[in-house]
Structure 1
Amino acid sequence: MTLDAAQGGPDLRGRIRAMVHGVAFGDAMGAPVEKLSAAEIRERYGRVTSLRTAWHRDGQDEVQRKGRVRGHGITTDDTAMTLSLMRIYAAERRHLDAWDMATGMVREIAWESRWVPELQRVTPLIERLFYPEKWIFQRLQLSGCDPRQGGVGNMVNCGATMYIAPVGAVNACNPRAAYDEAINFAAGHQQSYGLEAAGAFAAAVARAFVPGATLDEVVRTAHDLAHDGTRSAIAEVVAAAEDLRRKGAGAEEVTEVLHRAIAPFSPMGDDVAHGPEKAGRATAAYQPSRLLSIEELPLALGFCITAGGDFRQAVVDGINSGRDTDSIGVMVGAILGAMHGPEVIDPEDAALLDSANRLTLAADADRFAEAVADIMEGDAARATDIAAGRRILLQTTFERSAE
């Protein structure tokens, strides 16, 4: 199936390949500098522009590194969970909801063993996941709660948003459906503005698949479908980014201004590391709120704008801004990958991502694309049936009115 061959643009398979590449590329670019501030990145690296970058924790002992390795193309849980969601779609061949989080995703993270690049061994992914993602197993298997309530009580973060791009692909060209499905599925994992961002991001990815879509249309879609603090944060960051773009601002000014724009909605700031000094203190950044937003999605949209939609520049600018660099890179990469298609895939980068992580990203993307095509064809058949039924209802209604 090709969605847009008539327009001469990338087809569905090509866009999905580019989206998946964008996820892995943005993730691996940001992973070596995650949790550093922008100033710390400048001090240590100058500016990170290549996948072949050493992790800032290289040289620490294994305990300090939590047994992990990063750098030189290694991806994190963002990519691993994105691939997990793609496998669930490939197996089910239908739209997903919270019950699939409770079955498919629990199996993927807790009961399937695969190569985990950061741990350099074959193991269930849960051994690598952060606590808000381990929550999926805790709530949906060990606690056995209603899947729709799985996210209740979880630490609010970007964990659902970081892997939700495949929902946008499944609902390509239908942002409202992407938003709804992302919310239905990720409700088994996240709550509040952590859930809201997942819906808005999936919608943006779905809009990016529309042939000829502009970046302005993609950004406006995310804003218009978002609610509460997420919508307000997107509006503020986008307004700032558009002004910076008009001024031709440099990278340091862009980061400073965008961080200032997101600050009222995200108390996180540069203090993103967890340690014993924070024991017993739950920060406001991770509590449910209708006023707050995760940082990563609004900032990702902002960097897309200031880079003028240029894939590589937007990823590089985003990951050099510090903080949750890998997830910002993932969101930028997914949106612009889906929008531009295979032209964003550098063969050398793609080869490094595959070799460093023991992956076959193009083949994984193609298998997922086949499932997406099947789901789309089912959607089209249902839409035809619905339209036919409505025509009959309308026709008979007005015929009776005429009598």
Structure 2
Amino acid sequence: MKPKTQESPTEESRTATGHGTPLDERITGALVGAAVGDALGGPVEGYSPAQILQRHGGRVHGIVGPWNGDAWRTARPLAPYHKGDGHVTDDTLMTHALVRVYAQVRDHLDAYAIAERLVPDLMTEVRWIPELEAEALPLQRIFLAEKWLVTRLHYGHVDPREAGVGNIVNCGAAMYMAPVGLVNAGNPAGAYAEAIELAGAHQSSYGREAAGVFAAAVAAACAPGATADSVVTACLTLAKDGTRTAIERVCEAAARCPDFESALGPLREAVAPFDTVGPDYRAPSLAARRPSRLHAIEELPVALGMLLVADGDYRHCVLGAVNYGRDCDSIATMAGAVAGALGSPVPEDWSKRVAEASRLDLWAPAAALTEVTREIFARDVRRRRAHEAAFAGIGGPRCSD
């Protein structure tokens, strides 16, 4: 058993997860947990653990203000975004947008749903954008890798199943795939397949693969009795190429770390051979974000590694992700979603403050997705029974089956 430290998971937090957590609480935990992780990671995104330590006089243990204080409006490289003070970033904006698509379609999604539903939502619906402290189109906030969706699908009229080809390979598609895992709760293979289909509109190569594996992780976390170990096992069963190997190496390193402080260096060392960005996050290498079967995005393996270090405890794994730095808002989004789906409680003081600061109802998307998930499951059962009847009608089953 891992020794307890100031931020190590407690026995009380471990027993909060397990068989008895119902679907609605798992969906709420995953979506609220993802948003809170996103908000905690935003103000230290792009920096190293050493820089974070120096800036904050110690490790980050909760919600902090902008890196440049009151100069956030003009300070480069983040201006004009107000990252910090509990504001969610584009990770959460995209996640909630995908939930709205599910609420419209009320069934499993494909790449055409991204073109026909998600892109218009980004382009035409004015919403409150916390980092801009203003109402604006989500398109005016999302990163260039997400604007690619609009360029390729709306203006380029590219086949949605192939639109992701040519985009930079990063975590852009993976970061908002938690709803896919929740709709397929308890079915990692189904979540993987649906996310791979959806992400084809946005990403290719290991960026698309990460989207599938992250969705599978969330689905696996929803299973009764799921643990951090069982989530990683499910991911390794499905993951391909460099993504699989990167998860293996990072999780091997995580198994030797008693707390997130001791894991910060080893997890980076383990993922570095698979990460194309390089040691300086703000000055990517020439090979950065190009398609490859040998590489992986950094965010997903590190999120899973922190989940193992924390034994599935939400607070511990999210703080580990935040203090890791680099693309830590996305790492904490992923870690928070999986830990929340496991049933580990999201600290109420964090979620309340993030909701108030971001002016967002973090619980409404979860309620909507829970209703849709039940509808989709009932539809899946009917489809499966119709298939069984059709197969039986042509003499498919054998007596020994």
String of CA shifts for 1:191-224, please: whole Å, max 9, x gaps.
1000000000101111111111122111111111
SS in 2 for 1:74: coil
SS in 2 for 1:243: coil
Give the aligned residue type for 1:44: R
> Matched residue pairs, number?
380
Give the aligned residue type for 1:217: S
Partner of 2:172: 159
In 2 relative to 1, CA 87–396 (structure 1 residues): closer, same or farther, beyond 3 Å?
closer
Q: 2:265 aligns with which of 256, 273, 280?
A: 256
Partner of 1:47: 59
In 2 relative to 1, CA 188–44 (structure 1 residues): closer, same or farther, beyond 3 Å?
same
SS in 2 for 1:267: coil
Q: What is the CA–CA distance in structure 1 between the aligned matches of 2:360 and 2:225, rounded to whole Å?
A: 31
Partner of 2:363: 362
String of CA shifts for 1:330-359, please: whole Å, max 9, x gaps.
01000010111xx51332222212111111
Partner of 1:3: none
- Residues 149 and 188, structure 1, Cα contact 8 Å, conserved in 2: yes
- Residues 98 and 148, structure 1, Cα contact 8 Å, conserved in 2: yes
Partner of 2:157: 144
Partner of 1:319: 322
1:397 shift after superposition: 7.1
1:362 shift after superposition: 1.3
Unaligned runs of 5+ in 2: 1-17
Give the aligned residue type for 1:313: H
Matches within 5 A, 1:373-384: 373-384=374-385
Partner of 2:299: 296
TM-score under structure 1 normalisation?
A: 0.91
Q: 1:306 aligns with which of 283, 293, 309?
A: 309
Q: 2:31 aligns with which of 5, 14, 20?
A: 20
SS in 1 for 2:326: coil
- Residues 159 and 194, structure 1, Cα contact 8 Å, conserved in 2: yes
Percent of paired sites with the same residue: 43
SS in 1 for 2:388: helix
SS in 1 for 2:136: strand
- Is 1:349 equivalent to 2:362 in the alignment? no
SS in 1 for 2:212: helix
Q: 1:336 aligns with which of 339, 342, 353?
A: 339
Partner of 1:36: 47
Q: What is the CA–CA distance in structure 2 between the aligned matches of 1:57 and 1:226, rounded to whole Å?
A: 39
Give the aligned residue type for 2:215: A
In 2 relative to 1, CA 396–358 (structure 1 residues): closer, same or farther, beyond 3 Å?
closer
In 2 relative to 1, CA 395–200 (structure 1 residues): closer, same or farther, beyond 3 Å?
closer
Q: 2:220 aligns with which of 190, 196, 207?
A: 207
Give the aligned residue type for 1:77: D
1:58 shift after superposition: 2.2
Q: What is the CA–CA distance in structure 2 between the aligned matches of 1:362 and 1:199, rounded to whole Å?
A: 25
Q: 1:228 aligns with which of 241, 250, 264?
A: 241
- Residues 164 and 202, structure 2, Cα contact 8 Å, conserved in 1: yes
Q: What is the CA–CA distance in structure 2 between the aligned matches of 1:197 and 1:84, rounded to whole Å?
A: 19
SS in 2 for 1:115: strand
1:387 shift after superposition: 2.3
Partner of 1:283: 286
String of CA shifts for 1:297-348, please: whole Å, max 9, x gaps.
00000011111211100100111011001000001000010111xx513322
Q: What is the CA–CA distance in structure 1 between the aligned matches of 2:380 and 2:119, rounded to whole Å?
A: 27
1:384 shift after superposition: 1.8
String of CA shifts for 1:218-263, please: whole Å, max 9, x gaps.
111111101111011011111111122xxx3x53431111111001
Give the aligned residue type for 1:141: H
SS in 1 for 2:135: strand
- Residues 20 and 224, structure 2, Cα contact 8 Å, conserved in 1: yes
Partner of 2:102: 89
Partner of 1:218: 231
Greater Cα offset, 54-63 or 144-153: 54-63
Q: What is the CA–CA distance in structure 1 between the aligned matches of 2:46 and 2:310, rounded to whole Å?
A: 23
Q: What is the CA–CA distance in structure 2 between the aligned matches of 1:358 and 1:301, rounded to whole Å?
A: 29
Q: What is the CA–CA distance in structure 2 between the aligned matches of 1:273 and 1:263, rounded to whole Å?
A: 15
SS in 2 for 1:176: helix
Unaligned runs of 5+ in 1: 1-6
Give the aligned residue type for 2:33: G
1:60 shift after superposition: 3.2
1:57 shift after superposition: 2.6
SS in 2 for 1:359: coil
- Residues 65 and 84, structure 2, Cα contact 8 Å, conserved in 1: yes
In 2 relative to 1, CA 386–66 (structure 1 residues): closer, same or farther, beyond 3 Å?
same
Q: What is the CA–CA distance in structure 2 between the aligned matches of 1:285 and 1:235, rounded to whole Å?
A: 22
Greater Cα offset, 346-355 or 235-244: 346-355
Q: What is the CA–CA distance in structure 1 between the aligned matches of 2:157 and 2:194, rounded to whole Å?
A: 22
In 2 relative to 1, CA 118–390 (structure 1 residues): closer, same or farther, beyond 3 Å?
same
1:61 shift after superposition: 5.8
- Is 1:9 equivalent to 2:10 in the alignment? no
Partner of 1:4: none
String of CA shifts for 1:34-55, please: whole Å, max 9, x gaps.
001111011111111112x011
TM-score under structure 2 normalisation?
A: 0.91
